[in-house]
Copies of this chain bind each other. A is one copy, B any other.
Amino acid sequence: MGKYHHGDVRNVLLQKAETILTEEGPTGLSLRRLARMTGVSEAAPYRHFDGKDGILAAVAISAFERFAEQLETVAANVERHEERIMKLGAAYVGFAVENPQHFRLIFGRERPPLDQYPELREAADNAFDVLQRAVTSVDRKAEMTLSEAATAYNRALAAWSRAHGIAMLVIDGMIAPPADQELGDFVLGLLAEDLIAPNDA
């Protein structure tokens, strides 16, 4: 005789969903299990979310928001352009390492289709905007020629790719920092590796 309308089911579901996602990833997240954990009937979640994708979308949205916030903070607090790119990359990888499941959720194939969740699309766009602005904005406010702009854009993409690749390989356990090195230093080292001119033959 579960009491009807305890009024907070949606939030509780979201909360538990966060927990499960963090611990086991989207595959382990099942609506039935969620319902059981919440002490509510197995169909109840459907009153609050548009099926499994719906709940994943909700979680993904908040993940995108945290992600964007963290990047924004870093970007806002570093003056030099190069340093900003580096720190941003480190923050990018840092988020991935601290929240691997969320990172996978927002980038991977399990992410609900953006077309079907406008708020999700918005959250995603916003996060990428933060990234892009932070990377492309240069210190001096000189006007750029078209080709300079193109170069800046490509450099942004290249930087993003670099961070993304490191993040992915690290959370998938393909590469790891050597025993005597902190993760942060390791990442910064890798990011720097490409910035240093390899002007050998």
Contacts and interface: CB of A to CB of B under 8 A. Distances in A.
Interface in A117-163: 128, 139, 154-155, 157-158, 160-163
A174 B81 contact: no
Chain A interface residue number, banded? 35 or more
- The count of identical subunits is 2
Contacts of A189: 154
Interface of A: 25, 27, 80-82, 104, 107-109, 128, 139, 154-155, 157-158, 160-169, 172, 174-175, 189-191, 193-201
A136 to B, nearest CB: 13
21 contacts: A27-B109, A80-B201, A107-B172, A108-B109, A108-B172, A154-B189, A154-B190, A157-B175, A157-B190, A158-B193, A161-B162, A161-B175, A162-B162, A162-B194, A163-B165, A164-B168, A165-B168, A194-B194, A194-B195, A195-B198, A196-B197
